[in-house]
A and B are shown apart, each in its own frame.
Chain A
Amino acid sequence: MRKVLLILSFIFLTGGWTICLLPGRVEPAVRNIIYVHVPSAITSLVCMVAVLIGSIQYLRTKKDKWDFFAAGSVEAGFIFATVLNITGCIFAKAEWEVWWTPSARLVSSATLWFLYTAYLILRSNTAGKLRKKVCAVTGIIASVDVPFVLISARFIRDIHQPGFSFETGWQYSGLAMLIAGSLLLASVWVLVRIRIFRIESKIYDYK
């Protein structure tokens, strides 16, 4: 299953990048970072939904697999949120001449990154069965907070607007392929991490 998803993600990402950088190219060149930025944003948000599902299911069923699923999703979400913020800073510099501005989207993405970081810090500082419960509660609180983050960011005085939009079908299709490839890559990460957590859990039980 993991191998199939990995191959599929490779196909989507390679195909997407080929389309985006050739017929779907945006001018100037630095704006093409939007093809990394948008898939990262969507993937990190989807990972947060996965964290919510995993956390609720763990509290409901007390089965470890749901805790592993939530933890793996947090790690994948953290990686994509980091990419999101870095590409956001690069895009902001190119568009608005500042590395960071209190724009609605940049504030939302920064808060998303902090929520993921808080979960990971809490998880690494807690041990045993209590860790799973603590992380599940934290995951639910963080996930429920995300829609509020997105809505509240609209209250910020947003003086900057993106200066372009996609026009051709190539650009949209390339972006769609990259989004699909990113989601598949995140799911591969989650599956690999679930397997590693299972093995760690067995080793811990033997000890």
Chain B
Amino acid sequence: MKICVLVKQIPGSEATFNVTPDGRWIQESGLPFEMNESDIYALEEALQIREKMGEGEVFVVTLGPDRCQKTIREALAKGADRAIHIKEEAPFCTDPLTIASVFTQVIREENPELVLSGLQSDDLGFGQTGVLIGEMLGMTTATLVVATEIQDEDIRVKRELEAGWFQWQTMKLPASLAIQSGLNTPRYPSLRGIMTARKKEIKDVSFNDLRNVDFLQSFKKLSIQHAEKHTEMIEGSVDEIVSKLVNVFKNEIRIN
């Protein structure tokens, strides 16, 4: 089985952000970058499916600037067979439809039976790429996937619904699945994997060459919210304090 995994590089969760002078993006210099969390799980799921089936190919596709090379190597070190790097330079495209259409052109040529993506990127968080790609490629599509089972021509997936409910759904292959974090235990790259990663193929393609639609959305202004602490003294009799406190819990902090 040929499996495509979409992997995105995002700023590390512990990073401190500053906005660029033009207010359109974050200052990247000095920021740590890492693989998007749910993509790590998507990659692991792909590797496990390949291992279970005893054959197949896992290739990763990444969109982003040169720095993404590091994330691509990490995916290769973990066991992906090869990679396609859709290179783009700043200012970066943040329009999900354009992104999906560019990915679609690359993936269509490869004709995989399964496309796995993380549920959403932890930086922009649109959560649309996997769904749009599935639609554009005419694949069956599922989101919030927490388990997979290949059954000949079909794939059975477990989806997370609301309020602790789950749904098992059998779908036709080829399929595009948006993977929820936590469905497996991602592996560490083995040292041998790290050393052999550099021998694996990374094919570069240009984002601008593939772009065939106009951006439907772009960032006008980026701002960073600073949380402010404030302390309020509640005064009065015990009864008054209790009722004021209950009001704060109910209506301000919203404890259910």
Q: Are the chains A and B members of one assembly? A: no
Name B residues whose Cβ lies closer than 8 Å to a Cβ of A: none
